[in-house]
Amino acid sequence: MLCTGAPQLMIVSDLDNTMVDHKDKHHESLLRFGALWQACYDHDSLLVYSTGRSPDLYAKLREEVLLLTPSVTIMSVGTEIRYEDSMEPDHGWEEELNQGWDREVAVEEGRNLNLKFQADEVISTLTERFKERKLNAKIIYSGGADLDVLSAGAGKGQALAHLLKKLKSKGRAPGNTLVCGDSGNDAELFAVPKVCGVIVGNAMDELRQWHSDLQVDKSYIFEAEERCAAGILEAMQHFNLQPNVSPRDIFPPHYGGSQLSLSTVAHVVVEYVLLMEQWLKGGVANNDDVFGRLKSSLDPNATYIHAYGVITNPYEEIDTLRELYGVKKDKHFFMWVDRIRVEQLSDTTYLARFDKWERSSKFRRLKQSMVITRQK
């Protein structure tokens, strides 16, 4: 569902080595976070990616990794802000950054540098040259290798401040904002007023040193023990952001029987797809209790409309899975959902549209699906 009101929670996360753990080949922590977000938050909260990647490199990452579709994408170290699935640019932000900025001058001075210089020398030299040429620029060094030259008004922190100001002007200020990072170019996120933050367990020394050097109350910043997305989930528990337990961590589901609403339908969809995944992998017991738990979440009259037009009854479809128990065992097979959109059609009927993804090794398949669920 699209969050059109004031978001309950806004999570602003770096991607590489924060949301995405490149050492986790099967993206298990990312799947845990994704299940929680889609089940409990997507309908009334905002997910924001803040990355140093360019649009092209961001698109490449999305082809490789099980990333959810965010509400907002901040790219190129805070110089570009895009909204929703359409990636509509924030033209106001672009105009603001263009004041006093000349990219050609920045590129020219960069080319003239002696690449044998150490980082400190490069930063010092560039700063002096930009000052001489009256270029309104800032330099960010992170990761022990990346040196970004930006408009002075740019950066991850400034982009987030701009977004928060824009939301507030529309009466949509978030109830809570959690920022997440692992490297030096994420430090600005933690400096934005009225946010809480998590430094993930695998963070670089440069960010930990920045945190150590802070001379203010640091209780709003949590240092996680877990890596990447698992560290974000750990921070949600630390700051008591509820709910904070992924459906993947309380499986098989025990959510069935709750009164249907715009929010609980999303939870039902996530658990239904998760049970299908675990059944195919042989990850749950082959007994009537497993099926009973899932069926208790569905109305017998529910309708499942597949992308290719076939209409099935998910209540009956569960029974067809008995013969397929464990067919994906010992394979790196996952199923997950994205972009759940729920509409209430009547007092007792809900329509859920969502993308259902399947992945086995490097093979990925997308099925756009609709489920019509009726309250008993």
Write the pLDDT tens digit of every residue in 159-193: 999 999 999 999 999 999 999 999 998 999 999 99
- The answer on pLDDT for 1 being more than 50 is no
Which residues of the chain form CATH 3.40.50.1000?
9-89+155-247
Other CB atoms within 10 A of residue 150 CB: 22
For 126-141, letters b (16+ CB in 10 Å) and e give beebbeeeebebbbbb
Among 85-94, 148-157, 169-178, 352-361, name the one with the lowest average pLDDT. Answer: 148-157
Specify the amino acid at residue 287: N
User: How far is 138 from 188, CA to CA, in rounded Å?
Assistant: 13
* Region 323-339 average pLDDT: 91
Q: In 78-227, where does DSSP find H-type helix?
A: 91-97, 103-111, 119-132, 156-169, 187-190, 205-213
What's the pLDDT tens digit per position in 216-260? 999 999 999 999 999 999 999 999 999 999 999 987 665 445 577
Least confident of 27-36, 156-165, 366-375: 366-375
CA 28 to CA 338: how far, in whole Å? 16
The per-residue pLDDT for 268 is 85
Q: Mean pLDDT check: name the lowest of 6-20, 154-168, 350-364.
A: 350-364
Most confident option among 10-14, 104-108, 330-334: 10-14
The CATH architecture annotation of domain 9-89+155-247 reads 3-Layer(aba) Sandwich (3.40)
Residue owning tokens 């802070």: 214
pLDDT at 263 over 80: no
Between 208 and 347, residue with greater pLDDT: 208
Average pLDDT over residues 81-104: 82
What are the residue ranges of CATH 3.10.450.50 in the chain? Answer: 252-374
Which structure tokens are listed for 371? 């489920």
Average pLDDT over residues 94-103: 71
More confident residue, 258 or 371: 371
Residue 375 has pLDDT above 80, yes or no: no
Q: How many CA atoms lie within 13 A of 154 on its CB side?
A: 29
- Assign domain 252-374 to its CATH architecture: Roll (3.10)
Q: How many residues does the chain have?
A: 376
User: What distance in Å separates the CA atoms of residue 81 and residue 68, rounded to the nearest whole number?
Assistant: 17
Taking residues 34-44, report their average pLDDT.
96
What is the C-alpha to C-alpha distance for residues 160 and 233, in angstroms, rounded to an integer?
21
Collapse the DSSP code of 346 into the 3-class scheme (helix H, G, I; strand E, B; otherwise coil) and give the result.
coil
And the tokens for 126?
Answer: 């560039």
Please answer whether residues 234 and 198 qualify as being in contact, where contact means their C-beta atoms are separated by less than 8 angstroms.
yes
